[in-house]
Amino acid sequence: MRADARAPIGVFDSGVGGLSVLKALREALPHERFVYYADTAHAPYGERGDAFVLARSLAVARELVEDQGAKALVVACNTATAAAVHVLRATWPELPIVGLEPALKPAVAATRTGCIGVLATRGTLASRKFQALHAALAGQARFLLQPCDGLAAAIERLDTPEIIAASARWTGAIGRFGSEPGQIDMLVLGCTHYPLVRPQIAALVGPQVTLIDSGEAVARQTERVLRSTGLLRTPGQADGRLHLLASGSTAALQRAARHWLGWAAS
């Protein structure tokens, strides 16, 4: 397969959470075309088993690569990255594929109290990939890991009361926030859904706490990979179009894109 720089970048998640990564990608790469696929009929992946997530990731990637002609893939989901990115790379070895992981490393570099909170799905926290990352950073900071059951699903439903309630429940459960020794001063948003409700979470934890996610790092890595493979669009090739696809309701995905990011798409 010979990729074309004019082809779109495929981005997928189990639902609307990957829109937070797509936002960072579009800001970093405004000349690129994007096709975003939300597997909303099977969301959220973070509450599913690895075998299910792997099967769905392969099916969605095949749609983006073979039907939509994507020149690169961004797996905009921590759970799908952990369960499937190695298989995706083996299946399409010539295709640039960028995954993501919770932003523990930059949190370690920035913390002053040495205490870092991590909000994520149970699937992400239980994955071998996350556990290996956590173990590699052992001794560099104290990590408080909090599964956030129901929060991603509430974001999918645009259920504001439950978003507020779940955000309060899980930030309240993780520990004390602040700038004093032993308090959490860095909070990692370890699911791509959670940056969509950053203002709600920030209001709960206070101004002394820094919220950090993976979107900007993924965008930088995607740009590096495209540049190194000769697939980066130049300003003279500007396009910027966005196409939204879903295994569930495309209209619901379009509403979510308008609600969370103020976007319209084809």
Please choose, from the candidates 258, 200, 193, the residue with its C-alpha nearest in 3D space to the C-alpha of residue 43.
Answer: 193
Q: Please give the C-alpha separations between residue 97 and each of 79, 222, 266, in angstroms, as whole numbers.
A: 15, 8, 24
Query: Do the Cβ atoms of 50 and 129 come closer than 8 Å?
Result: no
Catalytic annotation, pick one of 22, 43, 74, 77: 77
Amino acid making up residue 168: A
Query: Do the Cβ atoms of 120 and 79 come closer than 8 Å?
Result: no
d(CA 84, CA 56) in angstroms, rounded, equals: 9
Q: 242 - beta bridge partners?
A: 34
d(CA 193, CA 46) in angstroms, rounded, equals: 11
Q: Write down the residue that tokens 């797509």 correspond to.
A: 22
Q: What is the DSSP letter of 233?
A: P
Let me know if 115 is a catalytic residue.
no
Query: Do the Cβ atoms of 102 and 118 come closer than 8 Å?
Result: yes
Catalytic annotation, pick one of 74, 191, 231, 232: 191
Let me know if 191 is a catalytic residue.
yes
- Residues identified as active-site: 77, 191
